[in-house]
Chains A and B, each alone.
Chain A
Amino acid sequence: MNLLGAAIDATINWHSVMFYVTSLIACGFALVVLLTNNIVRMAFALIVSLSAISGLLFLAGAYFVGTMQLMIYVGGTVVLLIFGVMLTAQKAFITMRTSAGDWLLGLLVGGTFLAVLVQLAFSIPQWESSSYQAKSDQELTAYVAELEQEIQSGKTLSQDQRQKLVQLEVEATQGEPQRTGEIGLALVGLRPDKDPQQSEGLSGYLLPFEIVSVHLLVVLVGAAYLARARRQQG
């Protein structure tokens, strides 16, 4: 029995199992979005797919981004999409027909994008293995061993050393906490996670954030203008 247990332990990592299940749901419903003709069913499949992606982010420990995904994409954008469908629907259920040209164009654009993304993903060495947890565990054990030696040589621990131990404990058990504040600071141009001496040029996400905001504002103004113009004509 112990042998079987060891075999299971060696082969099954339950975190990975959850990852595969969730990503299967995400990809499967993404395929449903592609293959179904009914727009409302498409929207529903999109919701499930996007929720599964937020589940993936939760599995990766990025709680803030996962919740953002739920709030913005699942809660906001898709509600708007369904609203649009409901307001523009002429019949009870709209079906969409895609011509061969559309398929070709879609495959071309999507395939190119996929190729770029895959290459990008594999070009970053940290993403190839999930050694983050193991690394923080190692760091913790190394530090504990260091402290143990110091104690055995008769020294008492200083406050700083205790603080560092607490910090390592937090990182080893919960991932890195308190990232929310750092994300907020990074959005306004400060990168507390980077060494200020090392970062060169533009740091932080202020410029993209600003561009996206202005873009959203333009879209809002345009939508308001279109809605007004139509009412005046009618």
Chain B
Amino acid sequence: MGEYFAGWFPAGWEFLGYTLAALIQAVLLVHVIALGAFVFIWAERKVSGRIQDRLGPTRTGGAFGWLQSLADGIKLLSKEDLMPKDADPILFRLAPYVSFAASFAAFMALPFAFDWVALHLNVGLFFLIAVLGLEVFGVILAGYSSGSKWSLFGAMRQAAQVVSYEVPLGICVVVPLMICGTMDLVAIGEQQRGLFTNWLIFHDPFIFVAFWVYFTCAVASVNRAPFDLAEAESELVAGFLTEYSGIRWSLFFMAEYGSMILVSALAAILFFGGWNGPLPVFSGLMDLAPNYLGNCWWFGTLANLFGVLNLLIKASIGVIAMMWVRWTFPRLRVDQVITMCLKYCVPIAAVCLLGVLCWTALGVPFFNDLLPSQDRSLVREGWVRDAEKRAAKRIEQMEANAKQGSQGDVE
């Protein structure tokens, strides 16, 4: 993208193009979180209304109350920004930003379609997991700097929960990584191209179990019910958020919704084929007219746009499942939360890891191999693929040059 915009500017001013590209990417990423929160806060009210047999918002902005989030936002913006007398003023003000920045930074390495990623890392998955663990800082800082016992205990419960759930989450993430053999999220998504049976969740029974463990741990690590005892607003006075109001309070919730979208999108990429639809429509079209469509700039863009749509739909399904879980299950006690993690999630995840290891090491056939549509070995890491394209172009040009040169000699 940077190279494209750099072409717009005269020589010496290319950096403006790169700056423009960076700004566009940053604005797009902020809007994934902001618009996502906008939509999902409304959806949460509707879903919870349906589950509890009521209507939810109905009036703001028409029949479905779809402007309810905007009304909420205006209300939160106009609230007074309170700070307790005993609070540490600097840290109290900074904590929401730390939380939000951690959630936002993780989106940098998340691919939305083939090669549509702000920062293409060959360790993208590892980076995401590392950044996801940083969110606990905002919580600890908020709880500690509030100068309130409720906040302090809420923060400690939350920190204990997030730190302990990182262990099974990490193990579950290693399972698809082991099958794909790369930490590059673009490559992991690309390896699941083709029919939906190529999605890693259908790879073998162990990874199917690993997905459910991953989802449980993801719900716990983004601090949603039934694992939301850290903020349990009805029983424990909202935990680390007790002293926050207005826009700072809403920043924490923006971060929470951002993380929900992030873990759902990660689940979609790791287990549900990422940006690949259930049917290989675009690669089928490509097979029909490779010479024409392969040279069309709009074809790849169109395919990627549909890929983004696919990924967002899958991520939304994940987020709505989290809401469904929230309004269905009772909240767990702190000892139940830790028991769930250490006695159930960790052993099951470890067994899945070993199971997939044996499954692939013993060469048991999996569904993907039975399908003729894909040649798995052909799918390589994105960088090499790009380089191959460029090298081919270079060779073509060299040959053309050589031809011209030889003709010139003849004449």
Contact = CB atoms under 8 A, between A and B. Distances in A.
Most buried by B among A44, A64, A83, A147: A44
B127 A83 contact: no
A71 B134 CA distance: 8
B11 A6 contact: yes
A165 B130 contact: no
A170 B384 contact: yes
Interface in A147-175: 147-148, 151-152, 157, 162, 165-167, 169-170, 173-174
Interface in B6-31: 10-13, 15, 18
A152 B88 contact: no
A38 B89 CA distance: 12
Contacts of A70: 127, 130-131, 134
B163 A79 contact: yes
A7 B90 CA distance: 42
Q: How many of chain B's residues touch chain A, expressed as a range?
A: 35 or more
Nearest to B406: A152
Contacts of B59: none
B37 to A, nearest CB: 24
Most buried by B among A47, A170, A178: A170
B391 A5 contact: no
Contacts of B90: 41
Contacts of B360: none
A40 B243 CA distance: 18
Given A79-B159, A148-B402, A86 B152 contact: yes
Interface stretch (B38-46, B137-145, B207-215, B307-315): B137-145
A1 B123 contact: no
A151 B122 contact: no
Interface stretch (B231-239, B290-298, B327-335, B392-400): B392-400
Contacts of A170: 383-384, 387
A2 B398 CA distance: 32
B156 A86 contact: yes
A157 B395 contact: yes
Contacts of A151: 398-399, 401-402
A41 B133 contact: no
A166 B147 CA distance: 59
B136 interface: yes
Contact of A75 (B130, B144, B155): B130
Contacts of A44: 91, 94, 141
B206 to A, nearest CB: 23
Interface stretch (A8-16, A131-139, A221-229): A8-16
Interface in B125-183: 126-127, 129-131, 133-134, 136-137, 140-141, 144-145, 147, 152, 155-156, 159, 163, 183
B130 A169 contact: no
A209 interface: no
18 contacts: A2-B10, A8-B13, A40-B145, A41-B90, A67-B121, A71-B133, A75-B133, A78-B137, A86-B155, A152-B406, A165-B391, A166-B388, A169-B391, A169-B394, A173-B390, A178-B122, A178-B381, A180-B123
